[in-house]
Amino acid sequence: MSNASENSAAKPPKTKSPSRRTQPERTAEARATLIDAAITVLHRSGYVGATTAAIAEEAGWSRALITHHFGGRSQLMADVISAVYEREHREYQELEGLDHRGTRMSDWPELLWEVLSKPSGLAVLEILQASRSDPELAALVGPMQARIEERALAGMHLRFGAGDEADTLAGMRLLVWAIRGLSIAQVLVSDPAEIKRSVGYLRRLIEGAIASGMLVEQASHSSMAP
């Protein structure tokens, strides 16, 4: 074999150099990092402790980047709610894909618990509670929460038929806020696992209401996560 052949055989194959990220990709990554940092700080320290300085330190970046990407703390908090909801929406879809969960009303206490009891769900609660005394935050969060409810209500109608809209909204709110309240309770009781008994109890109440005719369940083959 010639030297030229040997040299050719010895050379490693050429590999493509990784493509450089675009500016929109870098922006999206930066925003996601800051939102994740905000969730961590909100869960650990509450809304009062979730200052821009604390969030920037958690992210390992400067406070100026929060201003650059979000304009300020209130917009960051509103975007946390938006980002968490989109993540929760995907989680519901994934959970519903397992053994057709979510096709019965009685499935939803457990489904909601699996999603809303996470640190991200508690972070959202911190923001919603803070909006009561923060007009700037309330102006951002209020309309966003209304849009989230509209989307969730459409999902409920798609699953269980078009019943009375006011009753459907009332029932959906009862379920969601009961589970959100239990997610807070898990940090207050001596054995947080006991809270899951309450979630199971809520499921049995729904099953009993359906069996007695007090609650009409008209299941749909369609699926749409709240």
- Does position 198 have pLDDT exceeding 70, yes or no? yes
Are the beta carbons of 226 and 85 closer than 8 angstroms? no
Q: Count of CB atoms within 10 A of residue 24's CB? A: 8
Closest C-alpha to 164, from 1, 156, 209 = 156
Q: Does residue 29 form part of some domain?
A: no
Global pTM value: 0.82
The answer to whether residue 189 sits within a structural domain is yes
User: Is 152 domain-assigned?
Assistant: yes
Domain housing 112: 77-212
In a domain, 69, yes or no: no
- 118, part of any domain: yes
Tokens representing residue 73 in the block:
């703390």
Tell me the pLDDT tens digit for each residue of 54-99: 999 999 999 999 999 999 999 999 999 999 999 999 999 898 887 7
Return the number of other C-beta atoms located less than 10 Å from residue 106's C-beta: 17
Q: How far apart are CA 93 and CA 12, in angstroms?
A: 45
pLDDT digits (tens, 9 = 90+) for 140-185: 999 999 999 998 888 887 777 656 788 888 888 999 999 999 999 9
